[in-house]
Amino acid sequence: MRLIRPVCLGASFLIMFAVAGDTGVHPRAGSTDYPVSRPAKNAAIGAALVPADQVKKILPAETSKDYVVVEVAVYPQNGAAVDVVALDFALKFGPDGVRYPSTPQEVASAWTEKQPSLPGHGIHGTAEAGVTYNDGGDPATGRVHERSTYESVSVTNNPSPGNPPPPRYDPSGVEARAREKALPEGQARHAVAGYLYFPVPAKRHRGANLELKYFKDGATVVLPLPAR
């Protein structure tokens, strides 16, 4: 028993440290300092849409428009410990359905699929053909005209002139920035806050109402958000 107890305490310490570490954002003074807040069992939840210009500082422009980013804060109440889990949240896009948050790794993977090829990668081929003319003089026959054709093919791995410039971020950089701001997960006894990245439905009605849903302990809390 003497061996088990320190191990359990160490595990609890690691969980608490993960929640209170460098990830996420600084929670506001209280849940009511967010545009929308609701009470839940053993916690109060605050939420706000992250402005598009702020999202572009985290995600590349190629994917920032494909995600709605919500800042979420969890405020444990009455000394209770709350198990913070990103998948306890979902975002309803009006009639377009419900989406669950993507992980930072999934966000980076989505961007990788969109990025253009890097210059200097791959093989490029060029072909050229033409006709040459030569006017010459022969003392015996007089002036003559000569015509010949030529063809050439070259292969290189150098970038072609039409290739786009290198992207601003590499996938690991995208994931690191998304993870840095992500909502910390684990047991929390103090307020924690961070971002959740919700993928936008392929067909989304403009002006559709957004509702953040929080599912916990058999209850559902709905936080209506203004349309972006």
**Does 128 lie in the same domain as 86?**
no
CATH of the domain at 83: 2.60.40
**Does 172 lie in the same domain as 73?**
yes
Asked whether the beta carbons of 166 and 57 are under 8 A apart, the reply is no
**Does 179 lie in the same domain as 155?**
no
What pLDDT, on the 0 to 100 scale, is given for residue 15? Answer: 39
**Does 186 lie in the same domain as 125?**
no
CA distance 62 to 180: 20
**Does 51 lie in the same domain as 139?**
no
**Mean pLDDT over residues 112-125, rounded?**
54
Q: Is the pLDDT of residue 37 over 70?
A: yes
Mean pLDDT of the chain: 77
The pTM (predicted TM-score) of the whole model is 0.68
Confidence of residue 94 (pLDDT cuts 50, 70, 90): confident
Full domain range(s) for residue 131: 116-166
**Does 100 lie in the same domain as 36?**
yes
**Does 29 lie in the same domain as 94?**
yes
**Mean pLDDT over residues 20-26, rounded?**
74
**Does 111 lie in the same domain as 21?**
yes
**Does 65 lie in the same domain as 34?**
yes
Residue 10 or 122, more confident = 122
Q: Is the pLDDT of residue 151 over 70?
A: no
Both tokens assigned to 226? 């203004």
Give pLDDT tens digits for 162-216: 555 545 557 788 899 999 999 999 999 999 999 999 999 887 767 678 999 999 9
What HEC string does the chain produce?
A: CCCHHHHHHHHHHHHHHHHCCCCCECCCCCHHHCCEEEEECCEEEEEEECCHHHHCCCCCHHHHCCEEEEEEEEEECCCCCEEECHHHEEEEEHHHCEECCECHHHHHHHHHHHCCCCCCCCCEEEEEEEEEEEEEEECCCEEEEEEEEEEEEEEECCCCCCCCCCCCCCHHHHHHHHHHHECCCEEECCCEEEEEEEECCCCCCCCCCEEEEEEECCEEEEEEECCC
Residue 19 or 89, more confident = 89
Among 146, 166, 186, the domain-final residue is: 166
Asked whether the beta carbons of 226 and 49 are under 8 A apart, the reply is yes
By residue count, the chain amounts to 228
What pLDDT, on the 0 to 100 scale, is given for residue 120? Answer: 47
**Does 173 lie in the same domain as 159?**
no
Confidence of residue 6 (pLDDT cuts 50, 70, 90): very low
**Does 105 lie in the same domain as 35?**
yes
**Does 73 lie in the same domain as 155?**
no
With tokens 């993928």, the residue in question is 199
Confidence of residue 109 (pLDDT cuts 50, 70, 90): confident
Q: How many domains does the chain have?
A: 2
